[in-house]
């Protein structure tokens, strides 16, 4: 009998990186399906294109570095899907390819791959295309267009390196009532009109592909948190601090500042809080650190929305939180057992 020698522990849990990542992908499917139902072929094509680009880029960097394939850990799939969900539904596919490539290449591979990246790769991809294609990334199309399942939005199929055609004529043919062409946050900022909570919850607003259903995102997040595939404290801290900040401003000037519920439900805050801020590699590990990190993101999001030139601040708030993560971790190391101050009993 040949004996095997190992050091303890000889029993381990059945969780692994791929199981965690697979569950995140799984939980994103309802959100993705809802956007396809809203936006039709264009949204579907965008998700497939961006995800495929991310996978190909990841594999290409594996080859270049003579490493085994890392597609099996499913993290590139998450990056691709999440990135697509943050882009406008009719975003030109070739720009989606650029976003996907930048996300994986610059956001992840150059840092050394999964676990070593400092910033959320999907947000790096989005930040890049936001700077590179400022018009395309703010060109919105209405949900529930009549022909959404039979034809693409013209801008989707823009030839590579070409500017997308105007979509206004296409929108006129879709018999959609009262399409404003601006997101609720932009309308609040420039017209001081706030969307109703009902519209925000049911997806009847202009938004990025995956941002419209706050409730669906929250439910998927609750599932992940219940299965312990994400740290519930981060979204809790982000949403609580954003709501608190918004509430303080509204209390200061109710005529100008919107209600906390508008702040929570509009834009990409829910998607960012549940799926982006919780990216394990780019968030703190210490118990106190995750609360600080979440709180910073919530406050900065509201500040950018209220005082910045941009209408939406979630992306930069999370990237800032990512940048602070090493410092937060360093200054919130857990108190070691047995070093408590003597309690009076």
Partner 1 sequence: MRLPFFKRTATFEHGIHPAYHKETGSLPIRRLPFAPQLIVPLSQHIGKPAVCCVSVGQEVLRGQVIAKADGFVSLPVHAPATGVVEAIGVMPSASGKMVESITIRVYQADSQAVQVSAPRDVDALDKQELLAAIQDTGVSGLGGATFPAHVKLSLPPDVVIDTLVVNGAECEPFLTCDHRIMVERTQDLIRGIGYAMKVSGAPRAIIGVEDNKPDAIAAIQAALPADGTISVQAIETKYPQGAEETLIFALLGREVPAGQRPAAVGVLVNNVMTLAYLGRLLPAGEGMVERVLTVAGPAVEKPGNYIVPIGTPLRFLLEQVGAKSSAKEIILGGPMMGMTISSLDVPVTKGTSGVLAFASAQLPQEESQVYACIKCGECVNVCPKFLNPSQLGLLAAKREYAAMAEHFNLDRCFECGCCSYVCPSHIPLVQQFRIAKAINRESAVNRSTKAAPK
Q: Under the rule (CB under 8 A), what is the footprint of partner 1?
A: 1-13, 15-17, 19-20, 73, 112-116, 231, 280-287, 290, 329, 333-340
Q: How far is the CB of 38 from partner 1 (least distance, A)?
A: 32
In angstroms and rounded to an integer, the radius of gyration of the C-alpha atoms of the chain is 21
Residues 6+ apart with CB under 8 A from 57: 76, 100, 101, 103, 104, 105, 109
Q: How far is the CB of 258 from partner 1 (least distance, A)?
A: 34
Rank residues 271 and 290 by Cβ distance to partner 1 and give the closer one.
290
Rank residues 19 and 168 by Cβ distance to partner 1 and give the closer one.
19
Rank residues 112 and 160 by Cβ distance to partner 1 and give the closer one.
112
Q: How far is the CB of 283 from partner 1 (least distance, A)?
A: 7
Detail the DSSP E strand segments found in the chain: none
Rank residues 215 and 288 by Cβ distance to partner 1 and give the closer one.
288
Rank residues 309 and 338 by Cβ distance to partner 1 and give the closer one.
338
Query: 3-class DSSP state for residue 2?
Result: coil
Burial class (CB in 10 A: 0-12, 13-18, 19+), 342: exposed
φ, ψ (nearest 5 deg) of residue 320: -65, -45
Q: How far is the CB of 135 from partner 1 (least distance, A)?
A: 36
83 closest CA partner among 71, 105, 100, 95: 100
The rounded distance, in Å, linking the Cα atoms of 123 and 117 is 12
Rank residues 253 and 339 by Cβ distance to partner 1 and give the closer one.
339
Give the CA dihedral 53, 55, 61, 64, nearest 10 degrees.
Answer: -100
Q: How far is the CB of 61 from partner 1 (least distance, A)?
A: 14
């Amino acid at each position: 009998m040949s004996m095997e020698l190992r050091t303890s522990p000889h029993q381990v849990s059945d969780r692994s990186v791929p199981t965690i990542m697979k569950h995140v992908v799984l939980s994103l499917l309802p959100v993705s399906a809802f956007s396809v139902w809203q936006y039709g072929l264009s949204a579907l094509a965008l998700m497939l294109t961006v995800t495929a680009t991310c996978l190909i880029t990841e594999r290409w960097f594996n080859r270049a570095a003579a490493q085994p394939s890392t597609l099996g850990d499913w993290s590139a799939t998450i990056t691709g899907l999440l990135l697509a969900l943050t882009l406008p539904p009719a975003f030109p596919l070739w720009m989606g390819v650029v976003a996907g490539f930048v996300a994986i290449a610059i956001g992840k591979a150059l840092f050394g791959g999964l676990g070593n990246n400092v910033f959320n790769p999907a947000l790096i991809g989005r930040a890049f295309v936001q700077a590179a294609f400022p018009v395309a990334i703010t060109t919105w199309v209405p949900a529930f267009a009549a022909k959404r399942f039979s034809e693409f939005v013209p801008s989707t199929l823009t030839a590579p390196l070409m500017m997308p055609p105007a979509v206004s004529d296409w929108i006129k043919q879709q018999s959609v009532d009262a399409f404003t062409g601006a997101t609720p946050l932009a309308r609040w900022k420039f017209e001081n009109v706030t969307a109703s909570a009902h519209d925000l919850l049911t997806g009847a607003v202009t938004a990025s592909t995956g941002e419209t259903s706050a409730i669906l995102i929250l439910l998927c997040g609750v599932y992940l948190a219940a299965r312990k595939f994400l740290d519930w404290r981060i979204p809790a801290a982000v949403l609580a601090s954003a709501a608190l900040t918004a509430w303080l401003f509204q209390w200061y000037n109710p005529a100008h500042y919107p209600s906390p519920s508008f702040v929570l439900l509009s834009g990409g805050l829910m998607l960012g809080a549940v799926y982006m801020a919780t990216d394990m590699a780019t968030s703190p590990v210490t118990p106190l650190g995750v609360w600080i990190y979440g709180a910073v993101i919530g406050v900065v999001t509201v500040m950018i929305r209220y005082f910045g030139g941009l209408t939406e601040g979630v992306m930069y708030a999370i990237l800032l939180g990512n940048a602070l993560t090493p410092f937060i971790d360093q200054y919130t190391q857990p108190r070691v057992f047995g070093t408590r101050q003597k309690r009076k009993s």
